[in-house]
Structures are given as structure tokens and as C-alpha cells.
């Protein structure tokens, strides 16, 4: 892709429908404040462009395995940075059987794409909304104290996973478009969080983790885990209960 194609791709990136009302509000406010005092036009235009950028929804190409290994990859549900990889005994609110699970936490800053995508092919069997606080989503306590929404999935390969949308310091709205009984494809959009937040994903501890702490994730594309490979030791954190 040359420079011109890259610019065109950025300009014509689709917008998530949840962002349209906000973009309209920012645009109207820009016109009003600009009419009151012309220099404010520039600030309003910058904020409107940022709002459009925030709600962008770029297309993604989701990797899949073939043959007997099909549907065994766990794909990142969010853009952002891996801030934690740990072994954990999840609390009851996560809806997973008691035991040792791997948790990978992906933090989204305000410049990341905030559209969330399904990690695997499967059916939603558990949904749990928990009211909470709005601490910085990069903090450890955000997983247990912030407002959050848990989705549990029975995957096509017969396993269980869970993923959690967590509100952040600025984010005050979790959008989830699926319910119990919904079927999702790997990489399919299921929701969005406004404006800066994180997504935690839980999967069996014997599944190989394919990412490193600090690594940049691309929702719907980056492979987080692989059921066909054995896990390696990671930091243990078994005191969540």
C-alpha cells in the first residue's frame, strides 16, 4: 500500500454506529462556539476529528487454523497493550469453573480502536453486568472494582472461555450487543467501550499464551492463545477470590 492508499484508507474507515450521535454533537458545538468566537472553531474541529477517529471501525482479517486444528486460536478482543498475563482462580462473577485459568488483560487508551471483537467461534452462555467504580483501567484493582460486563462462551472446540469489558477512568459506557444464546464468529464485533478502558480474557491454563506483556494488540487479528500448543509458565495470581 502506497502513501496515497494509506491516507485514503484512514479517511474512509467506517465509523461504529454508536459514535454517530457524539460526532453530531461535537460538530454542532463546534458551529455554535465558533459563531460566538471564531478562534474556538479550531478547537472544535480538532475535537470533532478526534471523535471521528475514536469511533473508527476498521476492517480486520481474522486468522484461522484449518483441518483438525480449526477453531483453536484465541484472538484478541481489543486493540491496545497487554498489561498483565497471569494464572488466576477467577471469582464467581466470571462464571467459570473453579481452578487455575490464564488471564490476559488488554488496556485501551483513548487513541486505540475501541470496538470489541469475539475471541473465538462459539455461543454466549453467560452474561453478567457488575456496577462499580471508574478507576484507571490500567490498575490491577480495575478487574474487581470497576464497572464491568462479563461474557462467558462455550467455544466450537468444546472449551470454555470468558471475556470482560471493563470501564475506565474516563469511560462511563459499556456497549454490548449480544446476549445469552448469541452465536459469534471469531473476530465478530460484539460491543464497544467509551472512552479508554480494558478487556480481560480468561482461558484454560494449559493453553499456550502467544503474546508478551507490553505487546500491542489488534482486535480480531492478534493471536493471544493457541489450544494446539502447551502453555509456558507465567506469573501466578491465585488470590482473586
The catalytic residues are 197
Quickly list DSSP for the chain: --HHHHHHHHHT--B-GGGHHHHHHHHHHHHHHHHH-TTHHHHHHHHHHHHHHHTB----------GGGTT-EEEPSSSEEEEEEEEE---GGG-PPSS-EEEEEEEE-TTS--EEE-SSSEEEEEEEEE--B---TTSTTHHHHB-EEEEEEEETTS-EEEEEEE--SS--EEEE---TT-EE-TT-EEEEEESSEEEEEEEETTEEE---TT-EE-TTTSEEEEEEEE----EEE----
Amino acid at each position: 500500500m502506497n502513501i496515497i492508499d494509506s491516507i485514503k484508507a484512514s479517511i474512509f474507515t467506517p465509523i461504529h454506529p454508536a459514535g454517530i450521535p457524539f460526532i453530531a454533537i461535537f460538530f454542532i458545538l463546534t458551529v455554535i462556539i465558533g459563531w460566538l468566537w471564531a478562534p474556538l472553531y479550531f478547537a472544535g474541529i480538532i475535537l470533532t476529528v478526534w471523535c471521528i477517529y475514536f469511533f473508527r471501525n476498521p476492517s480486520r482479517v481474522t486468522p484461522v487454523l484449518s483441518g483438525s486444528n480449526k477453531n483453536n486460536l484465541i484472538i484478541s478482543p481489543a486493540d491496545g497493550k497487554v498489561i498483565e498475563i497471569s494464572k488466576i482462580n477467577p471469582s464467581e462473577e466470571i462464571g467459570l469453573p473453579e481452578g487455575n485459568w490464564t488471564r490476559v488483560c488488554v488496556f485501551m487508551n483513548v487513541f486505540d480502536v475501541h470496538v470489541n471483537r469475539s475471541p473465538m467461534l462459539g455461543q454466549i452462555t453467560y452474561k453478567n453486568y457488575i456496577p462499580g467504580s471508574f478507576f484507571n483501567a490500567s490498575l490491577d484493582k480495575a478487574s474487581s472494582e470497576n464497572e464491568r460486563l462479563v461474557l462467558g462462551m462455550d467455544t466450537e472446540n468444546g472449551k470454555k472461555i470468558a471475556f470482560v469489558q471493563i470501564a475506565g477512568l474516563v469511560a462511563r459506557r459499556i456497549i454490548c450487543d449480544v446476549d445469552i444464546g448469541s452465536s459469534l464468529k471469531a473476530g465478530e464485533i460484539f460491543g464497544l467501550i467509551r472512552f479508554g478502558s480494558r478487556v480481560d480474557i480468561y482461558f484454560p491454563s494449559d493453553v499456550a499464551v502467544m503474546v508478551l506483556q507490553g505487546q500491542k494488540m489488534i482486535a480480531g487479528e492478534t493471536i493471544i492463545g493457541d489450544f494446539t500448543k502447551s502453555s509456558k509458565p507465567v506469573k501466578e495470581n491465585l488470590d482473586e477470590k
